[in-house]
Structure 1
Amino acid sequence: MAEEPVVEEPTASGVGERRWRQAVRERLPLWVQTRCGLEPRSLAALAVVLGVAACAAGGFFWAGRPEQVRAPEVVRVAPVVASPPSVSVSASASAGSGGASAEVVVDVGGKVRRPGVLTLPAGSRVADALRAAGGVRAGADLTGLNRARVLFDGEQVLVGVPAAAAVAGPGGAGTGAGAGVSGGGGVPLSLNTATVEQFDGLPGVGPVLARRLVDHRTEHGGFRSVEELREVDGIGERRYADLQPLVRP
């Protein structure tokens, strides 16, 4: 007697899988059903491709999302500090004139209340020396005395003393008010106290050059040496040789 074939009844899991496939098949487009044939491997590959595409699209939109940007901080301008007021040369004695020494020793004589040798801070001017000597006596002639000139060490400042009576100093005769042109008692003319008229009396010096000499003296705070005449416009080597024995600082 022939055996009847055994027909296996579908299990619950098989029925669920069949229903799941049927549901997916109904929701897929027709071209997908035709190409993939709804095989398990094809469905898995399709799901992977769709997942990768969804991730790529999400990353693209996430990277292009608008972001908040902080405004740059306001840079404040530093307040301008006013420069300190300038200090006069006589007040800033430690600065010195030329930086060679912190003091200068000068001899103040003539018509002052306390004549003598004075030690002053470097950078002091003739006016400082006159104050240190007690001031000028009444009636003293200060014509030609440059009280704004910076003192140099070892010089002599004479007030109201005629040129013929001036005592020789470190560069020749003393520096005094009323010192005349060379020839008055053999006293050289002081470059630091002479007036325009006195310069005009020197050989080879006219009114224009005399004014240049006074302007140069005012601009540079006086003549330190006779050699500084070379720096004045209009004085060449020949004219300098003629003036050298006739003048002093």
Structure 2
Amino acid sequence: MKSAILQEADAEQFAEAGFAVLPGLYAPAELAALLRTVEQAPVSGPNFRRSQEVFAIRDMVGAVPALWPLLDTAALRQLLGQLFPTGCQLVKAIYFDKPAGSNWLVAWHQDLMINVSQRTDQPGFGPWTSKPEGVSVQPPVAVLENVVTLRLHLDDCDATNGALKVVPGSHRRGVVPAAAIAELTPEATVCAVPAGGVMLMKPLLLHASNRSTGNRPRRVMHLEFASVELPAGLAWREGKRLMM
């Protein structure tokens, strides 16, 4: 019998604190294959953004289909089976490359928006945004509570190259008003993650990242999974159903 990827202590931390770090989910050879595939990808189109400060791919699996067979390992399947025993779907995938020396930061926030295929007004859904890559909406809290984010780190990451800071337990506060965020951030902790490890995170967890101060890159694949079905008329824009 295979040992659980998500140990009891990790599951308890994830439920209570809203995050957990699981080292070694991907082997070095698997990381190398993922990086080669990203490096060979085209860099034009609305889903690609490249500058001296950042390289990002939105709808990563749709834009670079060859990535999914590399991501879809037995270890990932086992972890998702623990998180979603009745099955789930991939609902968002983004690649972030924060190059060495990059000076951008991310302010404190919660991940409140989901990507949908089209706008269909539904009770409890809103506000809406429309960008070149598609339509997004803030859903009811119950939808966000069903989503789990897996941040796969392709490089060792700590405070010197932009590791996430989080406020443990803040995901249990629902949508935190902007005016109340500052009083919570003194409780923050930095989440260091080794290359090949994943950080599990609840979207409602308050998080931020500082500017890099070292000379190491921070390349991350941000994957969001959910089992909840959206109301009739709404569909996950990047939805990819996974059979466990």
TM-score band by shorter chain is under 0.3
Give the TM-score, by structure 2 length. 0.25
More helix by share: 1
More strand by share: 2
Give the TM-score, by structure 1 length. 0.24
Which of 1 and 2 has greater Rg?
A: 1
